[in-house]
Amino acid sequence: MVFSRLFFIYLFFPICFLCYFATKKTSYRNAVLIVFSLLFYACGDISFLWLVVASALVNFVLGRGIDKFRDKAPAKAFLALGLVLNLGTLVGFKYTGFFIENLNNWFSLSIPVPDLPLPLGISFFTFRTVSYLIDCAWGKVKAERNFFTFLLYVSFFPITISGPIARYETMQADLHQRRVSADDLSIGFGRIAVGLSKKVILADRLSGIVDQFLGNDFTTQTTLGVWYGVILYALQMYFDFSGYSDMAIGIARIFGFHLDENFRHPFLCKDITEFWQRWHISLGTFFRDYLLYVPLFGKRRKIGGLLLVWFCTGLWHGASWNYIIWGIYYGLFLMLEMGIGKKGMKKIPAVLRHLCNKIVIIVGFGIFYCTGGIDQLGDMLLAMAGQNGTGWLDTMLVTSVQNNLFLLMAALLCCFPLLELPKKIMAKNPAANVALSVTGTVLAAGLLVISSILMVDATNTPFLYTKF
């Protein structure tokens, strides 16, 4: 099940809401959330529900073990075991086929390639359990003492299948004691409306245009047509994923959980380093905190760690070479920026910096799109470089821009922090506060209604990040 379905918004969520607020004690409320979280997962992929529960059980025991033997050898053994089990499960399900395919290709072998199904959300809940074990080992958090509380942490439905990769440290306090204020509800509902509209009104509409321009052979598409398609794909990815994150944060907030932001207007970045501080923040911080400074590379750990992080970031997104190339591509640009240094970067005119990083980001999304293999990626890059012999512009592009002009303008506009100015005004003037608050509510309600109508026609448009 995904958030952008009528079944979720108008049946699952309201029932969960009523059950949750029918109880008062945190322990009962946790029980309600566990039941609905498991139901939510079962609706999406009942065959691997056991894996979520098993993951919670194993990591709970390992966490307790680490806590009990803190600073002693067994703690390290528990941590090592936890990492092997968690990452082994992830690698086993997600990458076995990919590895064997490549082994077969490289060494002319004929090892049968298993067709393993990918458990829903495994990349997300595995990283959350890994962060928990490492934090336990580093003493950043105390191991959870109640299994059911930990089960809720692992299975919490707003974030199980598509993130954000919320850490135990962030959720610990709320898991044990929380109260829901009117502000929590108001913010939560607002985030749901905004997130849903990002997905249904923007991302899903952009998706159709992206398919028109990137869904066919790149050798027949014009240069500007490919650029247009890739730019819209970048916007689609942003609104799809940030829309999901908004909804996840909003739903969690309604139940009293305060999750960290996962996106901060990434396309406003001044350089690539800043882009990754604004895009999928929970993944970036995970790798930064747990992988960047792993002492694997001795004196060259800065560069080695960076490349490892970006190799892993790419691979995390999927078992496909284009993701790995995409990760290393970003790693190289980050190294370049590191080499230039902060002072050096500041000397570059702002316009040029913005232009350069946007080109890098757009090409990056192009690489990300090409799951069809190296040939497809090559065709796309040739087309973007104007080297496929199809010309720059055609009627279809002009028509598409014309037909979708308002959608494109809305999408570009929504990349900016539109709410900042109203917030500042509201903070100073009670009259403006009332007017803008009412306006915001009307807008949120309108967006929710429009999204709901559009959902009647969009019964099967999953969030893109659920497949990672």
Task: Identify residues 130-159 at the interface with other proteins (CB under 8 A).
Answer: none
Backbone angle region of 389, left / alpha / beta, with phi > 0 → left and psi within -120 to 50 → alpha: left
Name the catalytic one among 176, 265, 317, 354. Answer: 317
Distance of CA 191 to the CA centre of its chain: 16
Decide if residue 28 touches other proteins (CB under 8 A): no
Decide if residue 246 touches other proteins (CB under 8 A): yes
The SS3 call for residue 58 is helix
The residue among 41, 43, 34, 42 whose CA lies nearest residue 16 is 34
Decide if residue 423 touches other proteins (CB under 8 A): yes
* Shortest spacing between CB 252 and other proteins, in angstroms: 10
In this structure, the number of other CB atoms found within 10 A of the CB of residue 277 comes to 15
Decide if residue 9 touches other proteins (CB under 8 A): yes
* Shortest spacing between CB 269 and other proteins, in angstroms: 15
- Report whether 373 contacts 312 (CB < 8 A): no
Please select the residue that binds other proteins; options are 4, 121, 454, 465, rule is CB under 8 A. 454
Q: How far is CA 409 from CA 195, 264, 364, 399, 452, in A?
A: 18, 20, 22, 15, 22
Decide if residue 448 touches other proteins (CB under 8 A): yes
Please select the residue that binds other proteins; options are 26, 96, 104, 212, rule is CB under 8 A. 212
C-beta closer to other proteins: residue 14 or 88: 14
Decide if residue 403 touches other proteins (CB under 8 A): yes
The residue among 155, 132, 156 whose CA lies nearest residue 144 is 132
Identify the H or E element spanning 27: helix 26-45
* Shortest spacing between CB 402 and other proteins, in angstroms: 5
The Cα–Cα gap between 49 and 53 comes to 7
C-beta closer to other proteins: residue 54 or 436: 436
In the window 42-101, what residues touch other proteins (CB under 8 A)?
42-43, 45-47
The Cα–Cα gap between 342 and 267 comes to 19
Answer yes or no: 354 catalytic: no
Please select the residue that binds other proteins; options are 53, 97, 211, 345, rule is CB under 8 A. 211
C-beta closer to other proteins: residue 42 or 362: 42
Decide if residue 428 touches other proteins (CB under 8 A): yes
In the window 262-281, what residues touch other proteins (CB under 8 A)?
263-265
Query: Which residues are identified as catalytic?
Result: 317
